Amino acid sequence: MKVRFYGVRGSLPTPGPTTVRYGGNTPCVEVTVPESDELFIIDAGTGIRELGGRLASKRGKPINLFISHTHWDHIHGFPFFVPIYMPHHTVKVYGPTNDSLDLSLQDVLTKQMEYSVFPVRFGDLQASISYTAMKRGTTMMGGVEVTAHPLNHPVLTLGYSLAYNGCRVVYQSDHEPYYNLFSDEDPDANSFIDELNREIVEFARDADLLIADAMYTPEEYETHRGWGHSSTFHVLERAIEAGAKRLAVFHHDPIHSDDFLDRHLDVLHKEAETRNANVEIFIAAEGEEIDLGG
């Protein structure tokens, strides 16, 4: 199983000289299982454009596209994903459906291609495209075990786990640890919140690679509580608790330059050393491929 990052930036594409090493495209991750007769992609941020170019000429293998949630940075590359325009491609889109908004996944993707904001009509897409609402649970797709699990974010958001032949990658973006919005003194509420946080850890249990939204430093998090994102220390703690082998720090804040991320990686390495943690930590970088074996 191989994992390749096509987009690692959160919120907004951030091209430019200060982000050129880690990359400015928004989330898109390709998971390749050579033995499978299907392809796997998580999220359709702007990074999916380049991946689409690579896949365009290949025919045959159906593309499974898992959307974590419908915030712009996770879907706004979809209209630029070339295979959706080509009749010989099959694209199966999976993601959460937000019942409270009364909008299906397809509705939201269609809306970002309306005439007022996009030149090509949704009806012009020529690939065979299906849309399936994902819920918590596990399904087999092309021999790969795919599990979805809800995360804590301002719109319904799913984390995904893809496992094959004893190898597992876990994607948790975007997510903020659950916390008590009301009284800290309510023991029932606190134990419920602890349980929810434990579920997130269990979802990442023994992952060969945990890709986790770590948008803020611990100091920045204090002024962004409730925005739906984790700090780097949150994800380090989660990776340690879950026994993950590798941690990809992901969904970088647009204001964080490559140099800033390098400096903060040093802080994370020191913290991991202090905790005697046996996890390989790195900053997710566009174009980087991780071979997980399996």
CA distance 269 to 226: 26
In 3D space, the residue among 252, 157, 243 whose CA is nearest the CA of residue 208 turns out to be 243
Please state at what angle helix 232-242 crosses helix 187-203, rounded to 10 degrees. 70
85 touches 56 (CB < 8 A) = no
Closest separation in Å from C-beta 228 to Zn ion? 6
Closest separation in Å from C-beta 153 to Zn ion? 5
- Cβ nearer to Zn ion, comparing 163 with 177: 177
- Cβ nearer to Zn ion, comparing 1 with 8: 8
Reported for 86-89, long-range contacts at CB under 8 A and 24+ positions apart, including other chains, are 86/56, 86/126, 86/127, 87/126, 87/127, 87/128, 88/59, 88/127, 89/55, 89/59, 89/63, 89/127, 89/128
Closest separation in Å from C-beta 74 to Zn ion? 6
- Cβ nearer to Zn ion, comparing 164 with 250: 250
- Cβ nearer to Zn ion, comparing 174 with 208: 174
Closest separation in Å from C-beta 10 to Zn ion? 5
Binding interface with Zn ion (CB under 5 A): 10, 71, 73, 174
The residue number whose beta carbon is nearest to Zn ion equals 71
Closest separation in Å from C-beta 282 to Zn ion? 20
- Cβ nearer to Zn ion, comparing 70 with 147: 70
Closest separation in Å from C-beta 47 to Zn ion? 12
CA distance 264 to 274: 15
Query: What phi, psi does 55 have (nearest 5°)?
Result: -85, -20
Dihedral Cα 46, 52, 53, 59, nearest 10 deg? 180
- Cβ nearer to Zn ion, comparing 74 with 89: 74
